[in-house]
Amino acid sequence: MIYLTQLVFIKSGKEQAFLDFEAHAIPLMEEYNGKIIYRIRPSEDSFVDEDKELPYEIHFISFDSEQSFAEFMQDDRRLAFMHLKEESVKSVLLVKGEKL
C-alpha cells in the first residue's frame, strides 16, 4: 500500500476546470485500487503557520501498489482530460509515503 499527499495550487479563476478534471479522474482511480481518504479544501484560518501560497485542495489518497498508481497515471481516459488539469493547476506538491 502506498499513500500520496497532494497539495494542489490552482491558477486564479480556473477552479471549475480543475473540478471538471477531478470529476473524471477520481472515479477512474477506483479501477486501479485507488482511494481518496481525505479531500480537503482548507480556508485561510485553517492554517496555523505558513510562509508560502496556500493550497486550493489537499488530497490524501492510497493505492494498493506503485504499479497500480503508475497504471492510473498512464490511463488513456485520464490523459484525455489532462488539458483541464494543465489549464487549471499552477503546481502540485506530491509526497509519497507508506504506513508505519
Domains of the chain: 2-97 (3.30.70.100)
The mean per-residue pLDDT over the stretch 40-66 comes to 89
In 13-81, DSSP assigns E strands to 34-40, 57-63
99 vs 2, 19, 81, CA distance in Å? 8, 29, 31
Residue 11, C-alpha cell as written in the block: 491558477
Radius of gyration of the chain (CA): 14
Residue that is written with C-alpha cell 486501479 in the block: 32
The mean per-residue pLDDT over the stretch 38-49 comes to 87
The mean per-residue pLDDT over the stretch 22-32 comes to 95
What angle is formed at CA 80 by the lines to CA 56 and CA 36, rounded to 5 degrees?
A: 45
- Tell me the pLDDT band of 21, cut-offs 50, 70 and 90: very high
- Tell me the pLDDT band of 53, cut-offs 50, 70 and 90: confident
- Please tell me the predicted confidence (pLDDT) of residue 99: 80
In 11-51, DSSP assigns E strands to 34-40
pTM: 0.87
The mean per-residue pLDDT over the stretch 73-85 comes to 96
CA nearest neighbour of 84 among 5, 8, 30 = 8
Mean pLDDT computed over every residue of the chain: 93
